[in-house]
């Protein structure tokens, strides 16, 4: 039994996620990845800007929320639990989200990832650090007033179960109570890149593009 902190970690993925543990014996390519986390309130434009980034830079976009919604559709044994938590705007247990992220990283074959909507709380951050052992190159934070976010979400029309006024209020509360401390954490580490996301999408992307061109 290896006890050194430097020993290669072995992620024991449950078969439910489709990756047998023996595939994780070696240090896979994604373990040496460059990652950028993207944080911001609900509706701040994380998904919109990540889609722009992958058109200009060789990054793979992974949205934690999209992975959780795909997990529900897959008929997973956790589907009902995840669905209930999303409908309430609550944060799904990190073990599930981190496994989905790591599996997606492995399957992508890429080694550059822009990870949208993660880490949402302290538990997300710590579980990811323990499992993936990757520090973000930087963390984008889309700053936008709540009234603008509410307008954007109410006009999104993507059929999301959590895009209703009652759940939006809960998502804002979770954002303030659980995600803003993570934003502060990365700020204290000099990793935060705060962007005014209340501007038109094209102007926001000019700033995002500049950061990616200069920092990665």
Ligand X SMILES: Nc1ncnc2c1ncn2[C@@H]1O[C@H](COP(=O)(O)OP(=O)(O)OP(=O)(O)O)[C@@H](O)[C@H]1O
Ligand Y SMILES: Nc1ccn([C@@H]2O[C@H](COP(=O)(O)O)[C@@H](O)[C@H]2O)c(=O)n1
Under the criterion CB under 6 A, does residue 90 sit at the interface with ligand Y? yes
Q: Which of 35, 38, 64, 183 binds ligand Y (CB under 6 A)?
A: 64
Peptide bond into 158 cis (omega under 30): no
- On the CB side of 22, CA atoms within 13 Å amount to 0
Binding-site entries = 43-48, 69, 90-92, 117-120, 124, 156, 160, 171, 199
Beta bridge partners of 40: 142
Residue 171 and residue 37: Cα distance in Å, rounded?
19
Q: Which of 40, 41, 45, 117 binds ligand Y (CB under 6 A)?
A: 117
Shortest CA distance to 59 belongs to which of 74, 69, 49, 67?
A: 49
Under the criterion CB under 6 A, does residue 94 sit at the interface with ligand X? no
Under the criterion CB under 6 A, does residue 45 sit at the interface with ligand Y? no
Residue 98 and residue 103: Cα distance in Å, rounded?
8
Closer of 92 and 131 to ligand X (Cβ): 92
Segment lying near Mg ion (by CB under 5 A), choices 39-47, 90-98, 182-190, 194-202: 39-47
Under the criterion CB under 6 A, does residue 119 sit at the interface with ligand X? no
Cα torsion 112, 66, 99, 183: sign: positive
Shortest CA distance to 26 belongs to which of 12, 9, 13?
A: 9
Under the criterion CB under 6 A, does residue 52 sit at the interface with ligand Y? no
Q: Could you list the residues that contact ligand X (CB under 6 A)? A: 40, 42-48, 65, 117, 152, 156, 197, 200-201, 204
Binding site for ligand Y (CB under 6 A): 42, 63-65, 68, 85-86, 89-92, 97, 117-118, 120, 124, 162, 171
Residues of the shown chain interacting with Mg ion in the complex, contacts defined by CB under 5 A: 46-47
């Amino acid at each position: 039994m290896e006890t050194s902190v430097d020993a290669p970690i072995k992620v024991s993925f449950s078969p439910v996620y489709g990756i047998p543990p023996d595939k994780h014996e070696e240090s896979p390519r994604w373990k040496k990845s460059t990652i950028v986390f993207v944080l911001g309130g609900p509706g701040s434009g994380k998904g919109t800007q990540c889609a722009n980034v992958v058109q200009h830079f060789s990054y793979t976009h992974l949205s934690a929320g999209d992975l959780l919604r795909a997990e529900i559709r897959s008929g997973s044994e956790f589907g009902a639990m995840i669905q209930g938590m999303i409908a309430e705007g609550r944060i799904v247990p990190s073990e599930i989200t981190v496994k989905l992220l790591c599996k997606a990283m492995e399957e992508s074959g890429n080694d550059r990832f822009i990870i949208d909507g993660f880490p949402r709380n302290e538990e997300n951050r710590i579980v990811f650090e323990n499992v993936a052992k990757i520090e973000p190159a930087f963390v984008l934070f889309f700053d936008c007033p709540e009234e603008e976010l509410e307008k954007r979400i109410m006009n999104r029309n993507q059929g999301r179960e959590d895009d209703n006024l009652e759940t939006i209020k809960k998502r804002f509360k979770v954002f303030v109570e659980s995600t803003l401390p993570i934003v502060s954490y990365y700020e204290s580490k000099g990793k935060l890149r705060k962007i005014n996301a209340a501007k038109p999408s094209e102007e926001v992307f000019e700033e995002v593009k500049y950061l990616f061109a200069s920092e990665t």
